[in-house]
Amino acid sequence: MERAYDLVIRGGRVVDGSGGVAFEADVAVKDGRIAAVGHIGAAGAEEIDARGRLVTPGFVDIHTHYDGQATWDGRMQPSSWHGVTTVVMGNCGVGFAPCRPEDHDRLVRLMEGVEDIPFPVLSQGLPWNWESYPEYLAGLEGRAFDVDIGSQLPHAALRVFVMGERGANREPATEADIAAMAAIARRAAEAGALGFTTSRTLNHRTSDGQPTPTLTASEEELTGIAMGLAAAGKGVLQFVSDFAHPKEEFGMLRRIARASGRPLSFSLAQGGNNPKGYRFLLDSLEEAVAAGLPMKAQVAARPVGVLLGLELTVNPFTQYPPYREIARLPLAERVARLSNPDFRARLLAQPPEGGAGGLMAQWSRMHLMGDEPDYEPMPETTVEAQAAARGVPPETVALDHMLTAGGRGMLYVPFLNYSEGSLDAVREMIVHPDSVPGLSDGGAHVGMICDGSFPTTMITHWTRDRARGPKIPLETVIRMQTQDTARAVGLHDRGVISPGYRADLNVIDYEGLRLHAPQVVYDLPAGGRRLIQKASGYVATIVAGKVTYRDGEPTGALPGRLVRGPRSAPVAMAAE
């Protein structure tokens, strides 16, 4: 039989990314593109038996922070373990270009504080073979990855580059400053930046507690930079904001989108202080889109939750005086001390310094992370409820669990998207026609949060496993994190299984798809620690026609490259 194709995936249930009903078909690949879909008579140089399996487009994760990792590593894990074939980094206004040599440490401390990536990891891992943003892209150009990588221009780096100490200290930008930033933004878009990003939230601080340089940037500054993209005729805008004054803040976003004409997205989540506040933003977004403005909300697939543990950045006892005595000991020694009855008694008898506040003592919201993670947990699984059932203090339950598995037990505290104890609000936000899945933060929060697995949760929880409310059709979920996310950042050449599109694909054992529990590894530069999370059920992941993962294990192929700028939809090829 003639081997007309590089790869043929045979007999799978194709969910093609369009949102249409799944169908059985073969998929043929040649020269990195999908060549044909249907009954394929000719053979491929390589073939995959997909009978009984799903075949989907590769997932496009538009909200990651691999800006550092991409400079030293070819594998964008954990994202690439979860069917992701394209990542977009540089979100939330943080990144490393442009940057003058004297500001290296400043940007590292900002990333350390905002995204929980330790200073030694970044200071030893980053090659700093750039100063301008185009030079940063040039450094990535020659590298090979297991996914395609798109980059965005981060506002904090841009502001410090133009304004120096004034920018870091959040002083108002002058007209000259704004003009300089706009010019750099235009050149960045022309060089291949997919967009510009900024942060307006108090949650984003440097590692020494200073607010992000962009927190109070004026509307004039933001509009000026957006107009730089408009002058280039390309690029998207990404915002994260506290929306402390939602009407005024959203009004500003509308004006920026109208003035620049550039697509704009913002982070949307259910907050604890105002559990229904997201509805105002959804309604406002709907009105803006109806008025012709290109705006989207980025929504997380599940609660955004902090992981606590003895190996992690914090745990419930971090501020207890006896624990601070042993905090720097190796894990095994801390486990031994914490297992000693006398030390335990002394630990639990002394209140934490500064009082028990924040996430660390929220026993009524804290859950035990098990081998099979539950991201829509019931109230009876909280540490408080389990302590009441056992007749012991919650501190005892938390400590006992952390001591399991040699001190590697973890606790999970949802702090966004779980104010009412269910994911009903997430479903309402994520099925909205003007929202897209986002906010996984892959590559960041290496010692506290592990949400790069959002794409797997989208499939397992929302289409198959949810028992506490309505699910979402599989075809809709696949469309959301393929075609919808790709189009949101201007990548119209991927996200659909159709002739001419990029051959970025997944073959998935739908019934066998499972998330594993997060775990800690020490594989970052300087021996740095990070949280990872794997999955079972990804039979094969394919990037540009090359199989990059089989059954969750890398093949060695690194076909992914830097994506410079938006991509047009392909001209349809003739089907066989």
In the structure encoding, which two tokens stand for residue 311, read together? 């190996």
Residue 6 confidence class, pLDDT cut points 50, 70, 90: very high
Positive or negative, the Cα torsion across 198, 201, 207, 208?
positive
In order of their start, the domains of the chain are 3-56+501-519+536-555 (2.30.40.10), 60-303+418-488 (3.20.20.140), 308-413 (no CATH)
Mean pLDDT of 534-540: 98
Render pLDDT for 492-511 as a digit per residue (tens, 0 to 9). Answer: 999 999 999 999 999 999 99
| Percentage of the residues of the chain whose pLDDT score is greater than 90 | 93
Q: Of 16-25, 102-111, 329-338, 359-368, where does mean pLDDT reach its minimum?
A: 359-368
Residue 574 — pLDDT band, cuts 50, 70, 90? very low
pLDDT at 119: 92
pLDDT in tens, 275-305: 999 999 999 999 999 999 999 999 999 999 9
pLDDT at position 355 is 57
Q: How far apart (Å, rounded) are the C-alpha atoms in residues 458 and 461?
A: 6
Q: How confident is the model at residue 356 (pLDDT cuts 50, 70, 90)?
A: low
The whole-angstrom separation of Cα 357 and Cα 219 is 35
Count helices and strands in the chain by DSSP H and E runs: 20, 26
Percentage of the chain with pLDDT > 70? 98
Question: For position 353, what pLDDT does the model report?
Answer: 75
pLDDT in tens, 72-81: 999 999 999 9
More confident residue, 323 or 353: 323
**CB contact set of 84 (below 8 Å; sequence gap of 6+):** 58, 59, 60, 61, 76, 147, 442, 452, 455
In angstroms, the CA 329 to CA 319 distance is 16
Give the model's pLDDT for residue 365: 94
Residues 6+ apart with CB under 8 A from 142: none
Amino acid present at 171 = E
Q: Taking residues 341-358, report their average pLDDT.
A: 81
Task: Convert the pLDDT of each residue in 558-570 to its tens digit.
Answer: 999 999 999 999 9
Convert 423-485 into a string of H (helix), E (strand) and C (coil). Answer: CHHHHHHHCCCCEEECCCCECCCCCCCCCCCHHHHHHHHHHHHCCCCCCCCHHHHHHHHHHHH
Taking alpha carbons only, the member of 132, 125, 134 closest to residue 103 is 132
3-state secondary structure 6-18: EEEEEEEEECCCC
Residue 209: is its pLDDT beyond 70?
yes
Interval 45-80: pLDDT, tens: 999 999 999 999 999 999 999 999 999 999 999 999
pLDDT at 272: 81
Given this model, what pLDDT does residue 12 score?
98
**Residue 2 pLDDT grade (very low, low, confident, very high; cuts 50, 70, 90):** low
pLDDT of residue 273: 83
Q: pLDDT tens digits, residue range 192-202?
A: 999 999 999 99
| pLDDT over threshold 80, residue 359 | no
pLDDT for residue 24 is more than 70? yes
pLDDT over 50 at 177, yes or no: yes
**368-427 pLDDT per residue, tens:** 999 999 999 999 999 999 999 999 999 999 999 999 999 999 999 998 999 999 999 999
What is the Cα–Cα distance from 150 to 165, expressed in whole angstroms? 29
Say yes or no to pLDDT of 125 above 80: yes
Single out the residue of 276, 567, 302, 240 nearest to residue 430, CA to CA: 302
Residue 576 has pLDDT above 70, yes or no: no
